[in-house]
Amino acid sequence: MQLCFLGTASGLPEQDRFGQTVIVSKEDEEGRLGHYILDAGDGASSMFARNGFDHREIHAIVISHMHGDHHGGFLQLVKSCMHYDRTEELVVIAPEEGIPALKMYLEASYLYDPLLGFPIRWVSMKDLVRQPITLPGGIQFESFPNSHLDSARHRLAAHSSLEHNRTFESYSMSLLDGETRLVYSGNLNGPAGADELAAFIEPCDVFVCELAHVNPTELGRFLANKRIGITAIAHFHPKWTGMPDEAIVKLVLDGAASHGEIGTVMSMRDGQCLTTSPGAQFVRTRQLVPHTFK
Ligand SMILES: [Zn+2]
């Protein structure tokens, strides 16, 4: 399994960080490479192509919740798949409340199913809570609801005249490849938001955690004594801009210090990847090296 961070910004893209887009890649039993896109920030399709990935090899696009920085690049990913003459089914996993809107957005853009050249299989995150499915390419996928959108619930409630039928779905998720388990936080609820994942996270080889709402010291406390190999931090709030990567990692380690042992912590940048080596350890690669999957 390989994990590439194409974009590591939060809701506000920055000069050196594009919108959050994380690519999980693996080879199937026949040696064919396939990709799973976890959140499609704006520019996702461009970043995907620019880094040498092939749109025809996307197995699934996963949208953790319906804030725009998590699906802003979705439409162009689908459009690019059409232009690249994709024929294989594309799985799209999204919050149930978002699926009709995403479908309408595609159709509003003249991307009707029969014109795409490939079928889209829409899967509701709600149906995958504690009920893993096997995705094309052999990854086992499972979702876990979190309360990230409670703030949106409160904000909407303050405007009683606004009519809506929102369900405020937000999800964390896990991807299992054989023995290797990745947990992706999606967005969480507040500085101690990672605490919500206590019942879901162990064991995992890599935990991708957001730093848009979560506080690094609180994260360190949470990580202490957990069976987590590597914690890879992404989705950086602009307030961390300018702080060296090592200083952010140190905040996490300090948070864990009085609580117990902690695994490896990494502060990710756009274009960095983690790759499984034969011993199922993850090794950091500085550059994206697409299609040299070993
Ligand atoms: Zn959000």
293 Cα to the center of ligand 1, angstroms: 32
pLDDT at 13: 87
- Residue 214 in tokens: 């979560």
- Matching residue, tokens 């010291």: 217
28 Cα to the center of ligand 1, angstroms: 32
32 Cα to the center of ligand 1, angstroms: 33
94 Cα to the center of ligand 1, angstroms: 14
- Residue 2 in tokens: 């390989």
- pLDDT tens track, the chain, 294 positions: 899 999 999 999 899 999 999 999 998 888 889 999 999 999 999 999 988 899 999 999 999 999 999 999 999 999 999 999 999 999 999 999 999 999 999 999 999 999 999 999 999 999 999 999 999 999 999 999 999 999 999 898 888 888 888 999 999 999 999 989 999 999 999 999 999 999 999 999 999 999 999 999 999 999 999 999 999 999 999 999 999 999 999 999 999 999 999 999 999 999 999 988 655 566 766 555 444 433
155 Cα to the center of ligand 1, angstroms: 13
Partners of 123 in beta bridges: 93
pLDDT at 293: 37
Instruction: Give the strand pairing for 21-27 and 180-184.
Output: unpaired
Ordered by start, the domain boundaries in the chain are: 2-285
148 Cα to the center of ligand 1, angstroms: 7
Residue 185 contacts residue 207 (beta carbons within 8 Å) = yes
E-only strand ranges, the chain: 2-7, 21-27, 33-40, 58-62, 90-94, 120-124, 133-134, 140-145, 171-177, 180-184, 204-211, 228-236, 264-267, 272-276, 282-285
Q: CATH homologous superfamily for 2-285?
A: Ribonuclease Z/Hydroxyacylglutathione hydrolase-like (3.60.15.10)
pLDDT at 165: 87
